Amino acid sequence: MKQETEEQQDFVKDITKMSVDFDRWYTDVVRKAELADWSGVRGMMVVRPYGWAMWEAITRAFDDMIKESGHENWAFPLLIPQSFLMKEAEHIEGFAPEVAWVTRAGASKEELEEPLAVRPTSETIVGSLIRRYIHSHRDLPKLTNQWNSVVRWEMRSRLFLRSREFWWQEGHTFHASAQEAIEEADLILGYYRSIAQDWLAVPVLSGKKSPAETFPGAVHTLTVEGLMRDGLALQMGTSHYFGQNFARAYDISFSNKDNEKELCYSTSWGISTRLVGALVMAHGDDSGIIVPPKVAPIQVIIVPIFRDAESRTKVEGFIDGWARELKAAGIRHRVDWRDERPGDKYAHWELKGVPLRLNVGARDVDAGQVELVDRLSRERRPVPVAGIAERLQKELAMFQSRLFERAQEFQRQNTFEFATLPEVVAHFRERAGFAWAPWCGDAECEAKIKAEAGGVTIRTIDPDEKPSGKCLVCGKPAKHRVALAKAY
Amino acid sequence: MKQETEEQQDFVKDITKMSVDFDRWYTDVVRKAELADWSGVRGMMVVRPYGWAMWEAITRAFDDMIKESGHENWAFPLLIPQSFLMKEAEHIEGFAPEVAWVTRAGASKEELEEPLAVRPTSETIVGSLIRRYIHSHRDLPKLTNQWNSVVRWEMRSRLFLRSREFWWQEGHTFHASAQEAIEEADLILGYYRSIAQDWLAVPVLSGKKSPAETFPGAVHTLTVEGLMRDGLALQMGTSHYFGQNFARAYDISFSNKDNEKELCYSTSWGISTRLVGALVMAHGDDSGIIVPPKVAPIQVIIVPIFRDAESRTKVEGFIDGWARELKAAGIRHRVDWRDERPGDKYAHWELKGVPLRLNVGARDVDAGQVELVDRLSRERRPVPVAGIAERLQKELAMFQSRLFERAQEFQRQNTFEFATLPEVVAHFRERAGFAWAPWCGDAECEAKIKAEAGGVTIRTIDPDEKPSGKCLVCGKPAKHRVALAKAY
């Protein structure tokens, strides 16, 4: 974001091509576009300002959505006593293998009476605490959210997607009826769809997970699933309906309108910094990343072009003349005055995926125009500086749409429909993408798909279409139409 | 914030008077105004939405300030290897007794090769990482900040002021010259003064700490110190200049303009959720807390008064007619439709410190007015609803000023000037407040003040006035004029 050293400049020329090795391309661009790095603490990342600013844009958008519908932010403790964690059997079975434990503390480093888990997620501490604040049906719904980081002792690692610490929001809500809690989980899924599609320009499939892919302790899990440019699916957000499972384990009850004691119905839901990885993998190309304007830390980069001090002064005065219009219009922009050649600057900002670039030379000053280059088409177009702020706002909106349409087109070209497991196996031997297929709902058939098609899983169940035909595995009548994919 | 149960209503009547027992009053109002509670995890708190929203207002204000001056938010790891922590001797000596250690993790709960500290503060991990990104003077300054929580194994506890986890921002900056780093620490101190005075309406003394009160590893520490209504001082924010101490310990160097390798100059600075405790203790009274409008989650509470369904409909329609003007004007307001008596509602919102209340009855509807009551004067004034949004904005601004002036007046009445230690000792035996006195700068004299005056410490050194006279302890010529106080 600031002035770079030569060493960093060299990075730009040193990126593995996406077409050659997607995984290496990903790591290269995340690091060289200055989004994040490994931290030297095994499996834990450091998120740099350019990456963090994208997450901040996402957090602001989502925080506005949930506050508008009456949710409130809380801060629950980071450390959770072992006994709190152990109350919901399925849940703890899912998380125990990934927990980091605080066992010693204080001046003498004495052993604690009870180990404390660094939260891997907060259902258990929220459940333990919220019961104090719920007595009557008039206390419901309780719509809580918190922004924090969680720790999970992952053995595999990939920047933003899988690391021992990640940043997220976790919502936990408590309701007086099953219906209301189910609607809450649906409402949040809609917000997640909007974040993915309207903000990150990533089209998603959304619907229920199969039982095998359901969150530990949940009755059902809803998901939004995007398609990355290597054809792998990425789970971009999940919203869980728990029924009364957690309320039972943590004794969260209320007196209902008939003055009878009843257990609450609850939900939880989360999106994380993994979404920064999603936008990288959904939109990038061999030149680097492409950042959707709505979450771009820099929407417009201005590159002055000059030969000498005189032409520099001329160009600088010209830019000063209209740059304040951009600021007034809320366009996030920067002028790159670094001591580098224009071509290197172009490559640098393409790597960082800035949507629009304005090249401004002395001849442009005379003509009262700038040269507009967008990160998608890379065409150079002259643009008069009269009314430039309004023009750039339109261009940014168009860029956002075109990026989404491009991703939609990619999704369409990589979505298939199959009737039998051999077809699915054959497809995933050669290609990737989403494969729709009919499924009977049986866990054995689901396991067989995964085993035979090299790790392919049911990403989501079609919420709209009634299934026709027979299960792709066993041939019994299908209950669901499901989207299959290899996934991160 | 939501509908309360009877049980919670009872709380309102059940608050220890401030004049009877300040400490119990504090805990009562923090809990009963629904700001925070102890969590059941020893020494760790849960911050409830009404308290968290105040912290969010502070974070937004401060985040805007630092971004405007070129600071960038990062996310550094939560867990810090023991070896990273141990490099700066003074620093680790200060923090080691308060560290919580992760020693086991994963499925088999195996012992880690190296214990990981849950960060008590991040100088060590930031220092270890930032060196990668600093090569040349062109990479400087590096102005980093992060919003997170930290863990310190405190043995004493007090909601918001002293707990094993608290939320804060920590800034860490790296510079090419001592001068620039010193100016950075000063700049931030100015921001902290503005947060305290302009946002929280708490007048502060600001200046350098004495060496004994300086942050472990720092060359100097700057502080803002407020006075609470029990006459005790509260440190509300600190900004540290490290010289090259941390850069030396973590080998953070750059090639300067002469192409010579040089160690960076660094700073760090933080404000925390303790500021929510500060506003409670600086402004509260026997009826509860008083929230400065600029950080108030609810600035205006509207209490409808009606006898029957008919008058309720009439009042509701009337309020609907102008409530949207309040929303459009950005006034944070709420209508209290709970099924409680008006008097109980008044007490409830006074407890929660909402600056302005509007009582609206059927007769007000006929007169086209509301009854305005502010939390400070509690006088009832009729206000016409024509132009109500603009009127309330003015009232809120006036309330903010009056609250600050009231706190200034309190500070004036509780600030004293003494020449000798016996005077100081005598004063603090009877009263509290700030006591200015001349000091020679000697650590022994400082220790003697603390020992003889029952824990009184030097809160800050007067940055402006040249000292005259002799040290209050030893009688040698004074080097500094210092503010003494008992402090939290």
Paired sense of beta strands A220-227 and A204-208, if any: antiparallel
Per-residue pLDDT of B49-93, as tens digits, reads: 999 999 999 999 999 999 999 999 999 999 999 998 888 777 778
- The single-letter DSSP state of residue B330 is T
Long-range CB contacts (within 8 A, 24+) of B466-471: B467/B438, B467/B439, B468/B438, B469/B419, B469/B438, B470/B419, B470/B438, B470/B440, B471/B438, B471/B439, B471/B440, B471/B442, B471/B445
Q: Is residue B290 part of a domain?
A: no
By residue count, chain B amounts to 488
Question: Which of A104, A129, A151 minimises the CB distance to B39?
Answer: A129
* A53-67 core/surface letters (b: 16 or more CB in 10 A; e: else): bbbbbbbebbbebbe
Q: Are residues B192 and B308 in the same domain?
A: no
Question: Which of B74, B96, B106 minimises the CB distance to A46?
Answer: B74
Q: Is residue A5 part of a domain?
A: no
- B51: which residues sit within 8 A by CB, 6+ positions away? B30, B34, B35, B36, B160, B273, B276
CATH number of the domain that residue B254 is part of: 3.30.930.10
Taking an 8 Å cut-off on Cβ atoms, the answer to whether B46 and A73 are in contact is no
Q: How far is A117 from chain B (nearest CA, A)?
A: 9
Which ipTM did the prediction report? 0.94
By residue count, chain A amounts to 488
Residue A141: is the preceding peptide bond cis (ω within 30°)? Answer: yes
Q: Is residue A225 part of a domain?
A: yes
Q: Are residues A333 and A420 in the same domain?
A: no
Q: Is residue B2 part of a domain?
A: no
Total domains in the fold of chain B: 3
Locate the chain A residue with the closest alpha carbon to B273: A75
Q: Which residues of B touch A109 (CB under 8 A)?
A: 101
B388-413 vs B274-283: helix axis angle to the nearest 10?
Answer: 80
Taking an 8 Å cut-off on Cβ atoms, the answer to whether A40 and B128 are in contact is yes
Q: How far is B364 from chain A (nearest CA, A)?
A: 29
Q: Rounded to an integer, what distance in angstroms lies between the CA atom of residue A119 and that of residue A140?
A: 26
Q: Is residue B118 part of a domain?
A: yes
- The percentage of chain B sitting over the pLDDT mark of 70, rounded to a whole number, equals 97
pTM, 2 dp: 0.95
Q: Rounded to an integer, what distance in angstroms lies between the CA atom of residue B161 and that of residue B118?
A: 19
Q: Which residues of chain B have pLDDT under 70?
A: 1-13
Q: Rounded to an integer, what distance in angstroms lies between the CA atom of residue A342 and that of residue A344?
A: 5
Q: Rounded to an integer, what distance in angstroms lies between the CA atom of residue A68 and that of residue A61?
A: 11
Residue B141: is the preceding peptide bond cis (ω within 30°)? Answer: yes
Q: How far is B454 from chain A (nearest CA, A)?
A: 25
Q: Which residues of A touch B153 (CB under 8 A)?
A: 105-106
Per-residue pLDDT of A60-113, as tens digits, reads: 999 999 999 999 999 999 999 999 888 877 777 878 889 999 999 998 888 999
Decide which of A257, A283, A309 is a domain's last residue. Answer: A283
Q: Are residues B339 and B420 in the same domain?
A: no
Q: Which residues of B touch A127 (CB under 8 A)?
A: none
Q: pLDDT averaged over chain B?
A: 94
Taking an 8 Å cut-off on Cβ atoms, the answer to whether A44 and B78 are in contact is yes
Q: What is the pLDDT of residue B246?
A: 92
Q: Cα B182 from chain centroid?
A: 23
Q: Are residues A189 and A259 in the same domain?
A: yes
Per-residue pLDDT of B328-338, as tens digits, reads: 999 999 999 99
Taking an 8 Å cut-off on Cβ atoms, the answer to whether B129 and A4 are in contact is no
Q: What is the pLDDT of residue B94?
A: 78
Q: Are residues B46 and B122 in the same domain?
A: yes
Q: Which residue has the tokens 């959210």?
A: A145
Q: Are residues B397 and B438 in the same domain?
A: no
pLDDT tens track, chain A, 488 positions:
333 343 444 455 678 999 899 999 999 999 999 999 999 999 999 999 999 999 999 999 999 999 999 999 999 999 999 998 888 777 778 788 899 999 999 988 889 999 999 999 999 999 999 999 999 999 999 999 999 999 999 888 999 999 999 999 999 999 999 999 999 999 999 999 999 999 999 999 999 999 999 998 899 999 999 999 999 999 999 999 999 999 999 999 999 999 999 999 999 999 999 999 999 999 999 999 999 999 999 999 999 999 999 999 999 999 999 999 999 999 999 999 999 999 999 999 999 999 999 999 999 999 999 999 999 999 999 999 999 999 999 999 999 999 999 999 999 999 999 999 999 999 999 999 999 999 999 999 999 999 999 999 999 999 887 778 999 999 999 999 999 999 99
CATH number of the domain that residue B440 is part of: 3.30.110.30
Q: What is the pLDDT of residue A51?
A: 98
CA neighbours within 13 Å on the CB side: how many for A117?
27
Q: Is residue B292 part of a domain?
A: no
Q: Is residue A126 part of a domain?
A: yes
Taking an 8 Å cut-off on Cβ atoms, the answer to whether A40 and B7 are in contact is no
Q: Are residues B325 and B387 in the same domain?
A: yes
Spatial contact of A172 and A122, defined as CB atoms under 8 Å apart: yes
Locate the chain A residue with the closest alpha carbon to B52: A74
Q: Are residues A221 and A367 in the same domain?
A: no
Q: Are residues B202 and B319 in the same domain?
A: no
Question: Which of B73, B107, B165 minimises the CB distance to A77?
Answer: B165
Nearest CA to B468 out of B423, B435, B437, B424 is that of: B437
Task: Identify the domain containing residue B254 by its residue range.
Answer: 14-283
Paired sense of beta strands A45-47 and B204-208, if any: unpaired
Q: What is the pLDDT of residue A8?
A: 44
Q: Which residues of B touch A73 (CB under 8 A)?
A: 49, 52-53, 56
Q: Is residue A290 part of a domain?
A: no
CA neighbours within 13 Å on the CB side: how many for A398?
11
Q: How far is A324 from chain B (nearest CA, A)?
A: 15
Q: Are residues A315 and A179 in the same domain?
A: no
Locate the chain B residue with the closest alpha carbon to A32: B133
Locate the chain A residue with the closest alpha carbon to B40: A129
Q: What is the pLDDT of residue B95?
A: 82
Q: Apex CA B436: angle with CA B435 and CA B437, to 5°?
A: 115
Q: Are residues A223 and A354 in the same domain?
A: no
Q: Rounded to an integer, what distance in angstroms lies between the CA atom of residue B453 and that of residue B428?
A: 7
* Three-class SS state of A5: coil
A443-452 vs A421-430: helix axis angle to the nearest 10?
Answer: 30
CATH number of the domain that residue A308 is part of: 3.40.50.800
Paired sense of beta strands B333-335 and B300-304, if any: parallel
Taking an 8 Å cut-off on Cβ atoms, the answer to whether A7 and B135 are in contact is yes
- A340: which residues sit within 8 A by CB, 6+ positions away? A9, A348
Q: How far is A453 from chain B (nearest CA, A)?
A: 28
Q: What is the pLDDT of residue A86?
A: 83
Q: Are residues A206 and A319 in the same domain?
A: no
Q: Is A196 exposed, middle or buried, given 0-12, 13-18 or 19+ CB atoms closer than 10 A? A: buried
Q: Rounded to an integer, what distance in angstroms lies between the CA atom of residue B73 and that of residue B67?
A: 9
Q: How far is A157 from chain B (nearest CA, A)?
A: 14
Amino acid at B227: L
Question: Which of B40, B135, B273 minimises the CB distance to A129?
Answer: B40
